[in-house]
Amino acid sequence: MLDQAPYRNLTNLTNNFYRSNPVFYLALDIELIQYLKSKIEMAITNKKSLKKFILLGSLYASQFIPLVFLSEAIPVFMRQQGISLEAIGLLSLTALPVTLKFLWSPLIDRYGFTRWGHYRFWIILFQLLVVLTTAIVAFLEIKNSFTVLFICMFSIALFCSSQDIASDALAVGLLKPQERGLGNGIQSAGGYFGAIVGGGGMLILLNIWGWKITLLAMSFIMAMSLIPLLFYKEQQSNSNAQVKPAPVNNYLKNLTNFSRRPQMWKWLLILAIYPIAPYMASTMFRPLLVDIGLSLTDIGLLVGGVSYTSGLLGAVLAGVLITTIGRRRSLIIFSSLEVAAILLYLLPALGFKNSSILYLVAIVTQLALGMLRTVIYTVMMDKSNIATAGTDYTIQTSIPYFSAIIAAILSGVTAKTIGYTGLFAICILIAMVNVIIIFKAFVNTEEQQQITQ
């Protein structure tokens, strides 16, 4: 039998040491408490971050459902009815509120019903207006009420763009700088999910259920997407508490001050150029699919389902990569991938029309665009001040939207004049120019630091 005396002696020695060294004993307790506290705080932080990402994802999904349905599903339907390419291109004019929203963004920064939360109030209001307008559209005869349909499309774009101002401002204050890469990935993924539902799912349902039931279903889905926001309590940031937006009569000063910041003109130039190539190409890709002979269900599955799912994955992947390789490298790499992706549009235009080729084009183009959009949105957020977040972010988002509308309008005329192949060739050249501008704009260390701030 083992002798227990040495162990008893060791125990007594340890107890005597603690009694004679209470400071050491207390230090051990403090270290343990701090360790447990850090673990609890980490768990709470992770839970809060998850709630943030769910909220942001639902907000951007609800915005994209009606916009994508009206901007992409309706043009496909119209092309199937024999409408000209020029008329389809002109439909992009209904999205003018998306490009001009910076004009009233200072009002949303300035005013709000604070009992509901400053930006939360605006989001709920505009979302309900979108739900109501979509329900009205459900009862229209699209062939005989084109003017009313145009007005409703314009109104939906107005409400969605106004909601976007508040959502962007909420996101700027909600996300910490280190969360913005992944946070913008989640936002972009939410937008792509909304595009999947609005551009793919609803187009398939339109072919099965018809116009009325499909629109009512879409209205119901958008109403349900408000649920995460109803359980969110908006907190006023310290910056907003200390710095109030300028009075309404000086709101133009807010708009001009942003563009006067150091090196800002280079960034605004990139925002104006980057969407031209992908939007010119994608706008005419859908009519090309109709001309090839695909049905509404086939196009809905290809463009609205598989393609946008690829964009969703690209957005999440980019959100992870941005924190690793940085903003500047991400801009250069992802814009270069965009050039390679647009090259693929030439395949169906040159007669390669089998399903494998079409799916390859749909997957790669949206994957690249989703990655590029995510880094663009991340830098936009970096360049937005908390006190005027709605205005700063909206100015930046309005520029590419405006370029996209012009590109979409020109795409129809260009495709009719020089054909699909000529159009896609021009898009490739524009995308290459965009890569060169990004590289030149942020080539030296000082400017590289500015873009990552």
Give me the DSSP letters along 362-383. HHHHHHHHHHHHHHHHHHHHHT
Mean pLDDT in residue range 105-134? 84
Mean pLDDT computed over 270-294: 90
* Cβ–Cβ under 8 Å, residues 62 and 159: no
CB atoms within 10 A of CB 155: 19
SS3 content of the chain, % helix, strand, coil (to 5): 85, 0, 15
The tokens for 419 are: 């054909």
Q: CA-to-CA distance for 315 and 373, rounded, in angstroms?
A: 8
* Percent share of the chain, pLDDT over 70: 76
Q: Is the pLDDT of residue 407 over 70?
A: yes
Would the pLDDT of 452 be above 70?
no
Instruction: State the Cα–Cα distance between residues 389 and 370, nearest whole angstrom.
Output: 23
Please say whether the beta carbons of 275 and 407 come within 8 A: yes
Distance of CA 425 to the CA centre of its chain: 27
State the average pLDDT over residues 362-371: 93
The model's pTM:
0.69
Question: In order of start, what are the domains of the chain with their CATH numbers?
Answer: 59-451 (1.20.1250.20)
The pLDDT-based confidence of 367 (bands split at 50, 70, 90) is very high
Alpha helical stretches, state H, 69-145 = 74-80, 85-90, 96-100, 105-110, 118-138
pLDDT band at 240 (very low <50, low <70, confident <90, very high): very low
Q: Is the separation of the CB atoms in 405 and 180 below 8 Å?
A: no
Instruction: Name the band, by pLDDT with cuts 50, 70 and 90, for residue 44.
Output: very low
User: CB neighbours of 78 closer than 8 A, spacing ≥ 6?
Assistant: 87, 88, 91
Q: What is the pLDDT of residue 33?
A: 45
pLDDT score at 234 = 72
CA nearest to 130, candidates 205, 199, 67: 67
Regarding predicted confidence, which is higher, 12 or 174? 174
67-76, 99-108, 184-193, 219-228: range with highest mean pLDDT: 219-228
Neighbours of 406 (CB within 10 A): 17
Q: Where are the beta strands (DSSP E) in 245-301?
A: none
Residue 346 pLDDT: 95
Q: How many residues does the chain have?
A: 453
Residue 142: is its pLDDT beyond 80? no
Question: What is the pLDDT at residue 436?
Answer: 93
At residue 207 the predicted structure's pLDDT band, cuts being 50, 70 and 90, is confident
Any idea which of 44-53, 224-233, 397-406 has the lowest mean pLDDT?
44-53
pLDDT band at 339 (very low <50, low <70, confident <90, very high): very high
164 or 240: whose pLDDT is higher? Answer: 164
Mean of the per-residue pLDDT values for the chain? 78
